[in-house]
Amino acid sequence: MPEYTALALVSVAATVLLARALRVRLFRTAQYWLALGIVFAFQVLVDGWLTKLSAPIVVYNPEHHLGVRWPWDIPVEDFLFGFSLVTSSLILWERQKERNMTPARPVARGEVPEAFDEVADRYDLMVALNPGYHAHLRSSAEALVASLPRVHGPDAPAPARVVDLGCGSGASTRALLDAFSAAGRPVEVVGVDGSAGMLRSARAKSWPPGVSFVQARAEQLVDRPDLTGPGGLDAVFAAYLVRNVPDRDALLRSLRAVLAPGGVVVVHDYSVAGRAVPTAIWTAVCWGVVVPLGWLTSRRTRLYRYLWRSVLDFDSTARLMDRLQTAGFEDVRTRTVRGWQRGIVHTVSGRRPAAAR
């Protein structure tokens, strides 16, 4: 193949690879194709003038190109190079724009869902690399099922109504479904999350009837009777959520309000406050594994640096239990998981009193 032709084709392939590597979805936008059309229109005018065979300004060695010239006398390879130059500039430009819009400043607690948008398409990969993540969620989901009053079951047609608050990409929703199914109890789950990206990833999975996903802030659940139903919810599962909410007491009070009498809240989260060994393990794992893996999987680390800091700043389990009691929950309990995350990952649960107080 002539040299100029081969290089033109290589430039096109390299441009397409660059778009994929930087995850810039330029080719799916109408604006890009419109811009390319405008660029080509001007290229025809300028290139056509420069390469016209009647009075060429730029002369091509016939050995080094295919010899196909269209329109006028423009070698077709020029259009391939035109595509590569313009497109690679736009790809780098788009990439920079994305970075400027999401500067690497620290994540604040109130903007956690937006920060999850940045890593949503890599989140499942991150948790797959975390041994025990799914098993721990499952054990908290089982605790939730076990603490639900046995008013729902094969003899009672109504399924339990549960909200998975901060459902993310659906790992906790799946744990709930599996735990209910293993106990032979029907359930309807509404996954609620503030991150559009995480919800997109959850909705892309396959779910049985009775599972739905809604974008909303956890703090707004109390204003959404369409999600909580007239009689209130049987349970709220909040896995890795409460730590991220700025006003935890207000959130817990609102959860008590949306639960039916006797309904339960199960909080599943990291907590190391006041304990030196879990704090040291947590810090070593975050900086030795989680932050580097976050960079490798998403080229971003600010959410994972926030994760580290937010856990250090989070309540001890005793403080969280105290908050639940103050919010009006009874039968407040805690337990930790097995394995290396023992003393780091905890389940804390409480029940709304069955009789009104």
Taking CB under 6 A as the criterion, the residue among 193, 234, 269, 315 binding ligand SAM is 193
Q: What is the total count of residues that contact ligand SAM (CB under 6 A)?
A: 21
Taking CB under 6 A as the criterion, the residue among 24, 26, 145, 241 binding ligand SAM is 241
Give the shortest CB-313-to-ligand SAM separation in angstroms: 14
Taking CB under 6 A as the criterion, the residue among 11, 51, 188, 194 binding ligand SAM is 194
- Say whether residue 218 binds ligand SAM (CB under 6 A): yes
Give the shortest CB-233-to-ligand SAM separation in angstroms: 16
Residues 19-48 that bind ligand SAM (CB under 6 A): none
C-alpha Rg value of the chain to the nearest Å: 28
3-state secondary structure the chain: CCHHHHHHHHHHHHHHHHHHHCCCCHHHCHHHHHHHHHHHHHHHHHHHHHHCCCCCCCCCCHHHCCCCECCCCCECHHHHHHHHHHHHHHHHHHHHHHHHHCCCCCCCHHHHHHHHHHHHHHHHHHHHCCCCHHHHHHHHHHHHHHHCCCCCECCECCCEEEEEECCCCCHHHHHHHHHHHHCCCCEEEEEEECCHHHHHHHHCCCCCCCEEEEECCHHHHHHCHHHHCCCCEEEEEEECCHHHCCCHHHHHHHHHHHEEEEEEEEEEEECCCCCHHHHHHHHHHHHHHHHHHHHHHHCCCHHHHHHHHHHHHCCCHHHHHHHHHHCCCEEEEEEECCHHHCCCEEEEEEECCCCCC
Residues 114-143 vs ligand SAM: string with x where CB under 6 A?
--x--------------------x------
- Say whether residue 347 binds ligand SAM (CB under 6 A): no
Range in contact with ligand SAM (rule: CB under 6 A) among 49-57, 87-95, 237-245, 293-301 = 237-245
Taking CB under 6 A as the criterion, the residue among 172, 271, 297, 317 binding ligand SAM is 172
Burial 94-122 (b: 16+ CB within 10 A, else e): bbeeeeeeeeeeebeeeebbbbbbbbbbb
Give the shortest CB-216-to-ligand SAM separation in angstroms: 7
Range in contact with ligand SAM (rule: CB under 6 A) among 97-105, 206-214, 238-246, 340-348 = 238-246
- Say whether residue 112 binds ligand SAM (CB under 6 A): yes
- Say whether residue 167 binds ligand SAM (CB under 6 A): yes
The closest residue (CB) to ligand SAM is 168
Residue (228 or 244) nearer to ligand SAM, CB? 244
Residues 53-92 vs ligand SAM: string with x where CB under 6 A?
----------------------------------------
Taking CB under 6 A as the criterion, the residue among 177, 239, 324, 327 binding ligand SAM is 239
The residues that touch ligand SAM, with contacts defined as CB under 6 A, are 112-113, 116, 137, 166-168, 171-172, 193-195, 198, 217-219, 239-241, 244-245
